[in-house]
Amino acid sequence: MKISKAVSRVTDKTSSKSPGKLPASCAVMILAAGQGKRMRSALPKVLHEIGGQPLLFHILNRISETAPKAPVAIVVGHGKEQVEAAVLAQLDFSKMNITFVHQPEQRGTGHAARCAMDSPWGDAQVRAKNPVLVLPGDLPLIPGSLITQMVEPLGKGGGLRLLTCQLPDPKGYGRVVRRGKKGPVLRIVEEKDANAREKEIHEVAASIYFFHSPFLQASLHRLSDKNAQSEYYLTDLVANASRAKKKVDVLNWQSAEDLRGINDPWELAVAQKFLNERTVKAWAQKGVRFADPWSVQIDSQVELAEDVSIQSGVILHGKTRIRKGAIIGPRVVLKNVLVGEEAQLKVGTVAENSVIGAHAQLGPYAHLRPESEVGEYSKIGNFVELKKTKIGTSTSIAHLSYLGDAEVGSRVNIGCGFVTCNFDGRVIDGQRKHRTVIEDDVFLGSDCQAIAPIRIGKGAYVASGSTLTQSVEPDALAIARSRQVNKAGYASRLRGK
C-alpha cells in the first residue's frame, strides 16, 4: 500500500461531523485582506497556524460543514497570492464554491466588504437575494452552531443581525452602544474612537454580521472614513441601519472563548492553547487515555481511536491517524502517520509521512523519515533511522541502523549497526540514491554495510562485520571481511618493547 493512499484513505471520514446544514441560498464573505500589522510577520495574518492549520482554514472548515454549497467570497489583499495559493492547494476545499475578491488597498473592513459587494460575486448575491454572512478571517474558534444560528432568516424589514458578546475585558473590541442600558442597538464604536464612558461598555461586537444583500450593497457606499483610523468601518453599517429604522437583530453569544480574535503573536499562542485543550478533551471523552493532557499537542485534523493511550509530551501533527489500542510513549512526535492497532511507540520516537503496522514496536528513539512503512509485528529499535524504506512483517531491526531507499522482506533479522550505503555522490540514470533489497528470511549479522544498488536473496545469511559490495544469491552465506590471524605471544612482546 502506498503511503499517500493509506493516509488519505483514513481521512475520508473527517468532514462528516456537521451541526446541520444551512440553506443553499445563503452567501458567506470572509475578510482576509488585512496585513495584520500587530503580528509583525512577513506571513499574512490569516495564514498563521493554530492546531496545525492556517487561521483562515478553521473558518472554511466550519463553512464546509454547515454550508457546503454556499457561494463564498474571500477578500484578499495583503499577501494575496500566498493566501489564494494556500486555499487552492487544500483538497478539502476543492468542492466548495469559493471566489477570491481583491481589495487593492487595505482601507478598512467596510472597504473590504464593499470590494466584495461591488464585484460580480456581490452582484450575483444581490440578484439572487441571497443574504450574506460576513466573517473576519481572524476568529478561528467559532463553532459551526454559531454560523447556523447567525443565518436564521432575518425578519421582515430587518436590515441585519449582529453577534455580540459580554467580555470581562473588552479592550480592543468595538463596543455596542444601545439606547438606554438594554434598549435597541444604536451603533458600534471602535476602541480608538470611544470616549471614556463608551469604553466602560462590556458588550462587544465580534465582527460577525448577517445582512440582507441589497441593504449591504447600498449602505456600504454611504460609509465615511472620518474616524480615528481614517478607515471605512463595517461596524458603521449598524448605525446606518438604526438611523434608517431597520431592525437590528442581535445574537448574544455566551462563550467568549469562541470569539477569541487573533491580532498579535500572544493572542495566537493563547488561541492555540485553548484549541488544543478543546481537541484533547474531546478525544479523552471519546475513549483516548492521556497520562498528562496538558502536556500534549494534537492538531485538529488528527484522528484517534478508542483505547489509544497517550503519554506525556506527545505531539501529533497533520492527518495522523492512530488505531485502537496503540500506545504512544512519552515525547513521541508524529506528522501524517498512520499507526496500526496495538502498535507501541516508545519514548522519543519521531515519524513523518509514514505507515506503522498493527502490533509493530518502535523506539525508544526510532526515526521514520518520509515514505517509510513498517509491517505488522515488526520491531524497529533504538536509534534506527528509516528513509523511503518498506519493512515487511515480523522483521526485527533492533539497534543502531540506517536504512534508506530500501525494501526489506518479512521475518528478516538485521543485527546491530547495519547501514545501507545508498548515496555515492553521483547521479546514475537520473537516480541519486541507490536501492537495497533484502528478501524474506534473511539473517544479517551485526555491523554490516550494504553498498547499493544491491539485493540480498531470500534466506541468505550474512556474516557479522561484512561490507557487501555484490548481491547475495538466495540461501547463500556471504562473508565479506578479512580472515582473522592470531599471532601467539605477540601481545607480551609488544608490551615488552
Please tell me which residue in 202, 221, 367, 399 is annotated as part of the active site.
Answer: 399
Q: Provide the minimum distance between the beta carbon of 38 and ligand UD1 in the complex, in angstroms, as a whole number.
A: 8
172 touches Ca ion by CB under 5 A: no
From Ca ion, ligand UD1, none, interface partner of 173 (C-beta below 5 to 8 A by class): ligand UD1
* Cβ proximity of 172 and 191 under 8 Å: yes
Binding-site partner at residue 73 among Ca ion, ligand UD1, none, CB < 5 to 8 Å by type: none
Stretch that binds Ca ion, among 133-141, 160-168, 347-355, 397-405 (CB under 5 A): 133-141
Which listed option, ligand UD1, Ca ion, none, makes contact with residue 137 (CB within 5 to 8 Å by class)? ligand UD1
317 is catalytic: no
> Closest CB to Ca ion belongs to which residue?
261
Which does residue 210 bind out of ligand UD1, Ca ion, none, counting CB within 5 to 8 angstroms by kind? none
Q: Which is nearer to ligand UD1, 109 or 395 (CB)?
A: 109
In the complex, minimum distance from the CB of residue 110 to ligand UD1, in angstroms, rounded to a whole number: 7
Nearer to ligand UD1, 174 or 445 (CB): 174
**Residue 106 partner contact from ligand UD1, Ca ion, none using kind-dependent CB cut-offs of 5 to 8 Å:** ligand UD1
**Does the protein bind Ca ion through residue 261 (CB under 5 A)?**
yes
138 binds Ca ion (CB under 5 A): yes
Residue 205 interacting partner from ligand UD1, Ca ion, none (CB closer than 5 to 8 Å by kind): ligand UD1
Least separation in angstroms between CB 138 and ligand UD1: 4
Nearer to ligand UD1, 73 or 472 (CB): 73
The number of C-alpha atoms within 13 Å of 154 and in the hemisphere containing its C-beta is: 24
CB of 80 to ligand UD1, least distance (A): 11
Q: Which stretch binds Ca ion (CB under 5 A): 253-261, 328-336, 372-380, 480-488?
A: 253-261
Residue nearest to ligand UD1 (CB): 174
Q: Whole-number minimum distance, CB 255 to Ca ion, in Å?
A: 18
Stretch that binds Ca ion, among 39-47, 168-176, 256-264, 365-373 (CB under 5 A): 256-264
Contacting residues toward ligand UD1, per CB under 6 A? 31-34, 75, 103, 106-109, 111-112, 136-138, 173-174, 188, 190, 204-207, 233-235, 261, 263
Q: What is the CA radius of gyration of the chain?
A: 30
Per-residue HEC secondary structure of the chain comes to: CCHHHHHHHCCCCHHHCCCCCCCCCCEEEEECCCCCHHHCCCCCHHHCEECCEEHHHHHHHHHHHHCCCCEEEEEEECEHHHHHHHHHHCHHHCCCEEEEEECCCCCCHHHHHHHHHCCHHHHHHHHCCCCEEEEECCCCCCCHHHHHHHCCCCCCCEEEEEEEEECCCCCCCEEEEECCCCCCEEEEECHHHCCHHHHCCCEEEEEEEEECHHHHHHHHCCCCCCCCCCCCCCCHHHHHHHHCCCEEEEEEECCHHHHCCCCCHHHHHHHHHHHHHHHHHHHHHCCCEECCHHHCEECCCCEECCCCEECCCCEEECCCEECCCCEECCCCEEEEEEECCCCEECCCCEEEEEEECCCCEECCCCEECCCCEECCCCEEEEEEEEEEEEECCCCEEEEEEEEEEEEECCCCEECCCCEEECEEEEEECCEEECCEEECCCCEECCCCEEECCEEECCCCEECCCCEECCCECCCCEECCCCCCCCCCCHHHHHHHC
Nearer to Ca ion, 263 or 295 (CB): 263
**Minimal distance, residue 179 CB to ligand UD1, in Å:** 19
Amino acid (1-letter code) at residue 377: Y
Please, which residue, 259 or 360, has the CB nearer to ligand UD1? 259
Which of ligand UD1, Ca ion, none does residue 468 bind to, with CB < 5 to 8 Å depending on kind? none
Nearer to Ca ion, 138 or 342 (CB): 138
359 binds, among ligand UD1, Ca ion, none (CB under 5 to 8 A by kind): none
What is the crossing angle of helices 213-220 and 109-117, to 10°? 120
Q: Is 352 in the site for Ca ion (CB under 5 A)?
A: no
- With contact defined as beta carbons under 8 Å apart, do 239 and 113 qualify? no
60 vs 53: CA distance, rounded Å: 11
Compare residues 263 and 446 and give the one whose CB is closer to Ca ion.
263
- Shortest spacing between CB 193 and Ca ion, in angstroms: 16
Known catalytic residues?
399
- The contact set with Ca ion (CB under 5 A) reads 138, 261, 263
